[in-house]
Chains A and B, each alone.
Chain A
Amino acid sequence: AQSVTQLDSQVPVFEEAPVELRCNYSSSVSVYLFWYVQYPNQGLQLLLKYLSGSTLVESINGFEAEFNKSQTSFHLRKPSVHISDTAEYFCAVIFLSGGYNKLIFGAGTRLAVHP
């Protein structure tokens, strides 16, 4: 079965420290990859996506993620976090296996940035 695994349910970190949120997916078929962010009491917003091309993608607020096909991973990184980055982050994958391709979400990682 196709699945998405976020290896950490919670990540506490101090302000200005680097952070990595890990995401792995199960299948070797072609994929589209996404990271969504959910701030408290809000819906999900797209942070960044990989569809094709360069395996390193960046967001406007300093996050980046790298598609690693051999390791079936799409980890999210930021070199220096801010208090305002406190949110829940969801990795999501579309497995391109024919027919309608659903977006499959990981369980989420709650990032807590402390002063």
Chain B
Amino acid sequence: DVKVTQSSRYLVKRTGEKVFLECVQDMDHENMFWYRQDPGLGLRLIYFSYDVKMKEKGDIPEGYSVSREKKERFSLILESASTNQTSMYLCASNSFGGGGHEQYFGPGTRLTVT
């Protein structure tokens, strides 16, 4: 079974802090994704990566950056956390050419910025 893990289930940070959310997948997938989930808005794509050191902006990249130094790991960085970044963050992965196929999701990190 594909396993996607996220470093924290719950995280509380203060406004202005730098925040790192980590995601690891164990299926050698080329593609990895970061989404934000908010009530009534569904999932919105923040960034994705189709290869090591490669990244592409999604629909809502403002205020976020990403890092992919190893194939299995994809990090989401909030350079200076703000209260409007309080949300559920979901990581996903799939294989190359998997644009037409399912994505496998981690359990999510619920981030609260106070």
Contacts and interface: CB of A to CB of B under 8 A. Distances in A.
Interface of A: 4, 6, 9, 32, 34, 36, 41-46, 49, 51, 90, 92, 94, 96, 100-103, 105-108
Contact of B107 (A6, A42, A90, A101): A42
A43 B108 contact: yes
Contacts of B58: 102
Interface string B84-114: 0000001010000001111101111000000
Given A9-B40, A90-B43, A100-B56, A43 B102 contact: no
B100 A105 contact: no
Contacts of A100: 50, 56, 99
Contacts of B45: 102-103
A9 B44 CA distance: 17
B43 to A, nearest CB: 4
A96 to B, nearest CB: 7
Contacts of B41: 107
A49 B92 CA distance: 17
B100 A96 contact: yes
A100 B58 CA distance: 11
Given A43-B108, A90-B43, A108-B42, A103 B103 contact: yes
B107 A94 contact: no
B107 A43 contact: yes
A113 to B, nearest CB: 20
A92 B102 CA distance: 10
B4 interface: yes
Contacts of A107: 40-42
Given A101-B100, A107-B40, 16 more contacts: A6-B42, A9-B40, A42-B107, A44-B43, A44-B92, A46-B102, A51-B100, A94-B100, A96-B100, A101-B99, A102-B48, A102-B58, A103-B45, A107-B42, A108-B40, A108-B42
